[in-house]
């Protein structure tokens, strides 16, 4: 949130508000988190319900986490790391190449169907935090690899 809100403000210095998509992802993710919390209320025990009743922080935590996860998913979409027919595809605006820093992230656009897909995935990221975390964990498992044991045989390069 600390990056998205100032980034949206800096990028919105033009005639149109170009930070609408990141702000939308945050809000839709938070709504998904709130709906997910409401759904989980039926399965919570008495102690958990009392904890929610006594503290507004616990009530707000799920929507905040949902919004953050939705923004992370949005970053995966605009970076192209998460791509396919089911996911939205965004391209940089023509003037984005001349913009430096964080503001360039807000100079993207897509088709109407891409924004509809974005809304769906952001809601799902907030609604099912575990789902979004599993997606992010897949990238972690690709990057973090275990080094081979020191006694493992090394493959020699083949020459002709």
Rounded CA-CA distance 129/85 in Å is 22
pTM for the predicted model, two decimal places: 0.71
| Other CB atoms within 10 Å distance of the CB of residue 10 | 15
Per-residue confidence in pLDDT tens, the chain, 160 aa:
555 555 555 555 554 555 677 888 898 999 999 999 888 888 888 888 888 888 888 888 889 999 999 999 998 888 888 888 999 988 777 766 666 667 667 777 778 888 889 999 999 999 988 888 888 888 777 766 555 556 656 655 555 4
The domain locations on the chain are 19-142
Question: DSSP letters of 5-49?
Answer: HHHHHHHTTSSS-TTHHHHHHHHHHHHHHHHHHHHHGGG--HHHH
Per the document, the length of the chain is 160
């Amino acid at each position: 949130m600390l990056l998205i809100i100032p980034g949206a403000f800096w990028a919105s210095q033009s005639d149109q508000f170009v930070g609408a998509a990141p702000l939308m992802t945050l809000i839709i993710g938070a709504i998904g988190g709130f709906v997910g919390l409401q759904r989980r209320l039926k399965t919570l025990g008495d102690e958990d319900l009392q904890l929610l009743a006594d503290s507004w922080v616990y009530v707000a935590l799920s929507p905040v986490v949902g919004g953050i996860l939705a923004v992370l998913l949005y970053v995966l979409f605009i970076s192209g790391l998460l791509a396919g027919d089911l996911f939205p595809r965004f391209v940089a605006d023509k003037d984005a190449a001349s913009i430096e820093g964080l503001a360039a992230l807000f100079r993207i656009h897509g088709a109407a169907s891409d924004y509809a897909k974005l809304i769906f995935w952001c809601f799902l990221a907030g609604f099912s935090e575990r789902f979004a975390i599993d997606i992010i964990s897949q990238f972690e498992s690709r990057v973090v690899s275990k080094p081979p044991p020191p006694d493992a045989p090394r493959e020699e390069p083949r020459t002709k």
